[in-house]
Amino acid sequence: MEKTTTTTKKRYIEAIGRRKTATARVRLTAATKESYVINDKDLATYFVTEELQKIVTDPFKTVGNVYAVSVHVKGSGIHSQAEAVRHGIARALVKENEDDKTKLKADGFLKRDPRAKERRKFGLKKARKAPQWSKR
């Protein structure tokens, strides 16, 4: 689904990516050079480690396209945010070109990782950890 902004009239593809409680709203705009803006910061500033940067850029290496990426991400931790951004980018790429779906799906970028922290139960210290038991 393509949308147009009212001020610049540039077309972009928008998608949502999620992981744990992190949510990323991703916008891809056609460009000649790759650029990333995540919460008004560049990629290297927001995701400091190379591992997190690689997680974010992996879908483009699989597909081989070049886009300017704008992301608003919130919730959870920094690693889950990176995976949410990757999920959103992959979904946006599929919206743009349906043929890329098989490559992205094979690499596991289109699967939303549903694992999340289990809720705490009453009478326990954590989700499953019980207080120390003593016979007397």
Average pLDDT, the chain: 90
pTM of the predicted model, to two decimals? 0.84
pLDDT for residue 5 is more than 70: no
> Of 2-6, 64-68, 104-108, where does mean pLDDT reach its minimum?
2-6
CATH of segment(s) 2-106: 3.30.230.10
The pLDDT of residue 8 is: 53
> Radius of gyration over alpha carbons of the chain, in Å?
19
Q: Which residues contact 14 (CB under 8 A, 6 or more apart)?
A: 1, 3, 25, 26, 27, 28, 92
The pLDDT of residue 136 is: 85
